[in-house]
Amino acid sequence: MVAGVAGRASRDTGTLSDVRRWWRATHPGPGVWRRLDTIYTIAISVAILGGLAYGTASSALAQVVTPDALARFGPPAALLGLLVTAQWGAYQGPVVFSVPDVAHLLGAPLPRRGLAWRRLARGLGAGALAGAVLGALLLVGLAGRGRTVATERATALVAAAAELGLLGVGAAWAVERSAQWERAARLAVWPGAALAAALVVAVRSGEPWRTVARWSGPWAWAVQAPAGAAPGQWLTALGALTAAAAVAFAAAVHDAGRCSAERHLRRAEARAGAVAALMLFDARSARRAFDTPPAGGTATTRHARLAWARHAIGARGARPPARALATVWRDGVAAQRTRGRVIEAAVVTASGTVLALLDTDRPAAVLAAMALVYTGAARMLWPLRAELDLTSRARILLRPPLGSVMVAHLLVPSLATAAAAALAAGACAIAGGLGRNGGLAAVLAVLAAPTAVACAAMSARRGGRLPQSVLAGAMAADPSGGGIGVVTWLAWWPAAAAVLGAGPLLIATHDGVAAGVLAAAGAGAVVAALAGSLARGPTAP
Amino acid sequence: MGGVAPLETSALRRAYGRLVALAGLTLTVGAGECVALIGANGSGKSTAVRTIAGLLEPTGGTVRICGHDPHVEPEGEDARAELAVVPDAPLLYDDLTVRQHLELVTLSHGVAREGVDDRIDGLLDRLGLGTRGDFLPRELSRGMRQKTQLACALVRPAAVLVLDEPVVGLDPPSQVLLAELLHEAKRTERAVLLTTHQMAFADDLADRAVVLDEGEVVDEGAWSAVRERAEARGWSRA
């Protein structure tokens, strides 16, 4: 017989269970002894290290996790946690197949629901477990420093955290499977962040705002028991949260098969790309693996063409006369095209500036605030990263030497972040939030923004990939297996930005104007040196 | 099957944001017919194939495989049962051998177990993979991986065979073999849709052709007529 194209025989009733059985036969898991060995190793490690870790964790957590802190910051933190978990569905989510799975399993006449539900159940279980572990950690903190927590309240905290975890994974699945939910989750980020900030303020205010905050949603229901609410209240809240979690679970299971192959394929390809990039310690490529062009679009062909034409005409009209301004023009166009990125950078920079100016008594808080400013600056430098990732393209499209291009890329981000910082400092001044030597502090906080931009540019110049030399050197010299060396490499420029931004500010507010000006001059000299270094071009790969 | 065509698309459209990759493809491929989708790079051929295969959601229009919509569940199961797709790049498991890939396909498509091993052996022999059955994809050349993907599409019954750039990576004898297999598919009443840059490959095979440019159908008709017009435009000399 010469085999060729299969005959049009009717299909057997092929079932998913046949495929599963075959898969288990071709991919045998670890044997019983191997599993027992793993369990024994974990148990013995926990027994030996658990006591030590508990003592350390308890004393550390007890300082931060108090009933009062939980009542004040618990709801906003839980809300942000839920938002982040839901956003995870926009990039991966609880149900992710491999690329061949999409071709061979999702491309077969097998029920999608049957293929997805086990992964989904594992994801929901993992979410609940992660929540329970987090709840247990909070409990360790609450019970520290001689405080006691009633058993029923402790149980309620762990159960509520588990339910929140389940709710978050349920939301992530909704976002993963549906473009509408994905859009809604994206739109909910800033309102959610604003609500979180409002919750902090509301809890500090008197009634009725405190009550409103306490019943504002599942994020607040979850912390009522450990925050000291009356039994009737926290039981009602826990009941409401349980009902919400049950609805989320039922909805997730009901919609287990309702995710298109395209959405699965997008996530499968993103994961494969990210894993490949991370194997090379290339964080930037890993991040880019998750950036995919949006499907859909309501424009007609004609409309789309006109949109392109309008853009081309607009861009041509705005083209600068001087070659030297090409990079600035390019940054301007990029900012116009990705307004969300610019707004995000401005908000983060402004938040960092406000925090730095309001908390000048605590150096750690000012340093953390400056790290936020660095984050905003790094977000603004996306066009520079694009140039550095594809230097061959940049060399063709941009005629000046790449060093000049890199320096030119500092202008727009510096202006944008400094403007955001200036607005934030102005708002602080109007609200009377500036402390000692407040005027100089405000100026220095604004100047910290371009400083952070210079540091972020230095970080960008290194490329997204961890150099092999750094890795090899770190592993050879560092007993931690290279961890400390790698973390140092990663944190170097954010830390530099934090020190250069926070240093003059702290000195000005604690040691006087003259010392502050001197420190600012020093920081300025460092920034000038960094710009000079950038002008020499990218570092060798 | 009645009067239902194996493959039908109506005003099929796909956009990526504001880029319209496919703008209203209306196409019918009958049983025993081969239609070639031709066009330059970026003309929308692969988008069309992926949308028909259910791997991309259409932003407009419909696809029907033997009357079933591959984008709607559980109706899509019936569509996928009748549709075999050979993508432009092989999508294979790293940890499954060539033979295991074919076993998985036959299982997941519910092919009757009786005689399936002989069928797999025969197909592997015919595709020149007889001695490579126990090899993993990483141990194969690009062309052999492509043949494995082709074998996955041929090892189980399907009313529609969709191939995206099937000759890429295949040596000339393998291209001849592929053409033979596609002729055989036509003879056994399969509907064949293929995309290609190589007009010569489709010469003896395609009954009709559809030319795409910027996602829009700019020419269609009998293969010979479309080919003539394409030659007049200097397209096929490339």
pLDDT value at residue A396: 64
CB of B159 within 8 Å of a chain A CB? The answer is: yes
Neighbours of B189 (CB within 10 A): 14
- Paired tokens of A472: 């090899």
- Model confidence at A136, pLDDT cuts 50, 70, 90, reads very high
Burial level of A302, CB count in 10 A (0-12/13-18/19+)?
A: exposed
Burial level of A275, CB count in 10 A (0-12/13-18/19+)?
A: exposed
Q: Which of A523, A540, A394 has its CA nearest to residue A452?
A: A523
Strand B34-39 to B216-222 pairing: unpaired
- Model confidence at A312, pLDDT cuts 50, 70, 90, reads very low
Backbone phi and psi for residue B7, each to the nearest 5 degrees, phi listed first: -135, 125
Strand B19-29 to B83-86 pairing: unpaired
pLDDT value at residue A540: 52
pLDDT value at residue A479: 63
Q: Which residue of B has its CA nearest to A16?
A: B108
Sort out which chain B residues have CB atoms less than 8 A from A301's CB and list them: 20, 23, 215-216
Specify which of A171-185, A205-219, A224-238, A428-442 reaches the highest per-range mean pLDDT: A171-185
Please tell me the distance from the alpha carbon of residue A279 to that of residue A274, in angstroms, as a whole number: 9
Query: pLDDT tens digit string along A35-89?
Result: 999 999 999 988 888 877 888 888 888 888 888 888 888 899 999 999 999 999 9
Sort out which chain B residues have CB atoms less than 8 A from A307's CB and list them: 18
Contact B204, B40 (CB under 8 A): no
Sort out which chain A residues have CB atoms less than 8 A from B85's CB and list them: 103, 107
Q: Is the pLDDT of residue A418 over 60?
A: yes
Q: Which helix (H) or strand (E) holds B121?
A: helix B116-126
Q: What is the DSSP letter of B195?
A: E
Query: pLDDT tens digit string along A346-380?
Result: 999 999 998 888 888 888 888 989 999 999 999 99
CA A388, distance to chain mean position in Å, is 23
B contact test, residue of A1, A5, A262, A267 with most B CBs within 10 A: A5
A13, A98, A108: residue with CB nearest B108: A108
Query: pLDDT tens digit string along A217-249?
Result: 999 999 888 887 888 888 999 999 999 999 999
Query: pLDDT tens digit string along A191-221?
Result: 998 898 888 888 777 778 888 888 889 999 9
> For chain A, which residues make up each domain, given as ranges?
63-272, 302-535
Please tell me whether the interface predicted TM-score (ipTM) of this complex is above 0.85.
yes
Distance from CA of A509 to the nearest CA of B (A): 50
Lowest-confidence range among A92-96, A122-126, A301-305, B119-123?
A301-305
Q: Is the pLDDT of residue A12 over 50?
A: no
The per-residue pLDDT string of chain B (238 residues; one tens digit each, 9 = 90 and over) reads 457 899 999 999 999 888 899 999 999 999 999 999 998 888 999 999 999 999 999 999 999 999 999 999 888 999 999 999 999 888 999 999 999 999 999 999 988 888 889 999 999 999 999 899 999 999 999 999 999 999 999 999 999 999 999 988 888 899 999 999 999 999 999 999 999 888 888 888 999 999 999 999 999 999 999 988 888 877 654 4
Please tell me the distance from the alpha carbon of residue A125 to that of residue A171, in angstroms, as a whole number: 14
In angstroms, the Cα distances linking A310 to A304, A326, A327, B206 are 10, 20, 21, 41
Whether A2 and B122 lie within 8 Å, measured CB to CB: yes
Give me the mean pLDDT over the A425-449 stretch. 87
Strand B34-39 to B191-195 pairing: parallel
pLDDT value at residue A5: 60
Give me the mean pLDDT over the A120-139 stretch. 94
Whether A12 and B113 lie within 8 Å, measured CB to CB: yes
Q: Is the pLDDT of residue A471 over 80?
A: no
A258 vs A309, residue with greater confidence: A258
- Paired tokens of B71: 């984008």
Any residues with CB less than 8 A from the CB of A333 and at least 6 apart, and which? A315, A318
Contact A108, B108 (CB under 8 A): yes
Please tell me the distance from the alpha carbon of residue A291 to that of residue A280, in angstroms, as a whole number: 19
Q: How many CB pairs under 8 A join A and B?
A: 154
Q: Is the pLDDT of residue A134 over 90?
A: yes
Q: Is the pLDDT of residue A306 over 60?
A: no
Beta bridge partners of B38: B211
Sort out which chain A residues have CB atoms less than 8 A from B42's CB and list them: none
Neighbours of B161 (CB within 10 A): 27
- Paired tokens of A385: 């990263």
Q: Is the pLDDT of residue A317 over 60?
A: no
What is the full DSSP assignment across A439-497? HHHHHHHHHHHHHHHHHHHHHHHT-SBPPHHHHHHHHHH-TTSSHHHHHHHHHHHHHHH
Contact B211, B219 (CB under 8 A): yes
pLDDT value at residue B169: 82
**Mean pLDDT estimate for chain A:** 84
3-state secondary structure of A300: coil
Whether B55 and A3 lie within 8 Å, measured CB to CB: no
Name the CA radius of gyration of chain A, rounded. Answer: 27
Distance from CA of A297 to the nearest CA of B (A): 5
Give me the mean pLDDT over the A256-283 stretch. 87
Sort out which chain A residues have CB atoms less than 8 A from B184's CB and list them: 4-5
Q: Is the pLDDT of residue A425 over 50?
A: yes
Query: What is the reported pTM?
Result: 0.79
